[in-house]
Amino acid sequence: MVLAIIAKLRKRFRKTPSRPQRPDADGVTYRPLRSLDERIEGWRVVIEDDRQRAMYDRVAASIDRTAYAALQDKYRAEIEAAEELAVTKYLDLAPWFMIHSRLARMLDIDTRPKCSILDIGAGGGQFLAIAKAYGHEVLAFDKPDPAVYGDLLKLCGIPRIEGSVQLGEPLPQSIGRFDLIMINGQVFDVFPKSGGKRWTVSEWASFLEYLTATHLEYPSTLFVGLNKSAGPTGVEEFLWPLVDLAEEHGATVERKRATMHYELTEPLNFEGASKDPWLTLGKA
């Protein structure tokens, strides 16, 4: 009886445990020099889905803390001197693991049979790091610079073929064919020396037909998560007509974030859309 009363009183006066707060008030504030574990803990609280959280936890655990701290030291002066974080924001792994574990959840990276995955414009490789943590065979395709991307890929043990997507040019043969191709937050569709002008739907359609004909095994998955690429300066808006076209051709699309998820049994053929074969583009 006395014990029951004590337990009741304890419960009544127990302090409410303080819930860790999301580490950014509005939008993402990058903190690449903070402790990795502190950042991982802070961003973990925003993940509501159990499977996504499990993927986030697994990739976070896979990072060698000593090697990570050495990278922070390597880029410390650059980060402290910069007024705005440019590519060094990718060193702050936690928000990127949060973003990419959401994509990994959409693509069932945790449950799909072991497969080969190519990430075009992979950046620091956070998506591939998750896939690798689940035993998939991963490859990054990206430009050789900036160095921070290469350092992050090394940290996660992800191989990269260096190169660049260029209008009308084939990708290197050595890339091969894959079960899943990921394109997220692309900028390869910016025309060089154009002041930010980007490909139209027609150029995208040509590229996706070429890509799926030459670099996918079947059945396979293609995922495209757009960067903002339309509007007067080419960065204000997503290229919605491309999302519409994808939906018309069987992709599952997310309207909030302009993502397109194709499950394919054969190469894409955007019949009826005006476009020229990829390898003829940009030759005039």
Ligand X SMILES: C[S@@+](CC[C@H](N)C(=O)[O-])C[C@H]1O[C@@H](n2cnc3c(N)ncnc32)[C@H](O)[C@@H]1O
Provide the binding-site residues for ligand X, judged by CB under 6 A: 121-123, 126, 142-143, 149, 164-165, 184-185, 187-188
DSSP 23-47: S-SSS----TTS-HHHHHHHHHTT-
Q: Least distance to ligand X from the beta carbon of 143, Å?
A: 5
Query: How does DSSP classify residue 14?
Result: P
Angle at Cα 253 formed by Cα 250 and Cα 255, nearest 5°?
145
Of the pair 20, 170, the CB lying nearest ligand X is at 170
Ordered alpha helix ranges (H), 82-182? 93-106, 126-133, 147-155
- Count other C-beta atoms under 10 Å from residue 267's C-beta: 17
Q: Per 3-state DSSP, what percentage of the chain is helix, strand, and coil (rounded to 5)?
A: 40, 15, 45
Contact between 28 and 95 (Cβ < 8 Å): yes
Of the pair 120, 245, the CB lying nearest ligand X is at 120
Q: Least distance to ligand X from the beta carbon of 247, Å?
A: 22
Q: Least distance to ligand X from the beta carbon of 274, Å?
A: 24
Of the pair 23, 121, the CB lying nearest ligand X is at 121
Q: Least distance to ligand X from the beta carbon of 17, Å?
A: 34
Of the pair 37, 162, the CB lying nearest ligand X is at 162
Q: Rounded CA gap, 213 and 36, in Å?
A: 41
Which residue has the closest beta carbon to ligand X?
Answer: 123
Token pair, residue 209, equals 């037909």
CB neighbour list of residue 194: distance below 8 Å, 6 or more residues apart: none
Of the pair 20, 157, the CB lying nearest ligand X is at 157
Q: Rounded CA gap, 231 and 254, in Å?
A: 20
Q: Least distance to ligand X from the beta carbon of 164, Å?
A: 4
- Count other C-beta atoms under 10 Å from residue 49's C-beta: 12
Q: Least distance to ligand X from the beta carbon of 52, Å?
A: 16
Q: Least distance to ligand X from the beta carbon of 187, Å?
A: 5
E strand spans, the chain:
116-120, 137-142, 160-162, 178-184, 216-225, 252-254, 259-264
Of the pair 164, 269, the CB lying nearest ligand X is at 164
Q: Least distance to ligand X from the beta carbon of 27, Å?
A: 16
Q: Rounded CA gap, 238 and 260, in Å?
A: 12
Of the pair 188, 207, the CB lying nearest ligand X is at 188
